[in-house]
Amino acid sequence: MHDNIRIRTTINGEPREFLCEPRQSLLECLRDILGLTGTKEGCNDGNCGACTVIMDDRIVASCLVLGAEADGATITTIEGIARGSQLHPIQRAFLESAALQCGICTPGFIVAAKALLDQEPHPSEERIRLYLANNLCRCTGYDKIVRAVQQAAAMEEAPQ
C-alpha cells in the first residue's frame, strides 16, 4: 500500500483538504474523493478535454495533473461556474443556443470557455475554435457551441 499524501486546496472558493495516493490524478481526486463528479473522464490521457478545470488561472486537463500537484492550488470546476443559484451567462447561452446534446463534454467546454472569455472578452470565431480545439464533442459538430460562446461574450457586455 502507498502512504497517502495530505493535499490542501481551494476549490470553487472553499478550502478543501483531503488525502490521496501519490498515483491518483487530480481528476480522480475531484471525482472519487471529493464527490465533484461534474468533471468527466473521457480518455484519461489529455486528449478530449472532458476533464478540463481551471487551476491557478489556466485551464488544465485534470487527468494529466497529479493530485499531489494540486497542493496549494486554487481550482475552479464546473460546480463553481454558476453564480449562486443564477447560471453564468455561458451556461445560459449553452442552453439557449442548444449547444449540448448528450452533455458529457459540456462541463469541460463551459470551464474552458469561461477561461477564454475571462482573458479575451471578444474573441473571434477563429480564436474560439483554436482555444477550444482540445475539447472534443461528438454530438454537436461544434457549430452551436461556438455560437453559444459568441452569444455569451455578447451577453457579458450587455448592461447587467
Binding site residues, other proteins, CB under 8 A: 1, 21, 23-24, 31, 35-45, 47-48, 50, 77-79, 81-82, 87, 91, 94-98, 100-107, 110, 128-130, 132-147
Task: State in angstroms the smallest separation of the CB of 83 from other proteins.
Answer: 11
CB of 99 to other proteins, least distance (A): 8
**Contacting residues for 158 by C-beta, under 8 A, at least 6 apart:** none
Closest distance between other proteins and the C-beta of residue 73, in Å? 19
Q: Give the residue with the Cβ less far from other proteins, 115 or 132.
A: 132
End-to-end CA distance of the chain: 54
Distance, in Å, from the CA atom of 119 to the CA atom of 57, rounded to the nearest integer, reads: 10
The rounded distance, in Å, linking the Cα atoms of 124 and 70 is 32
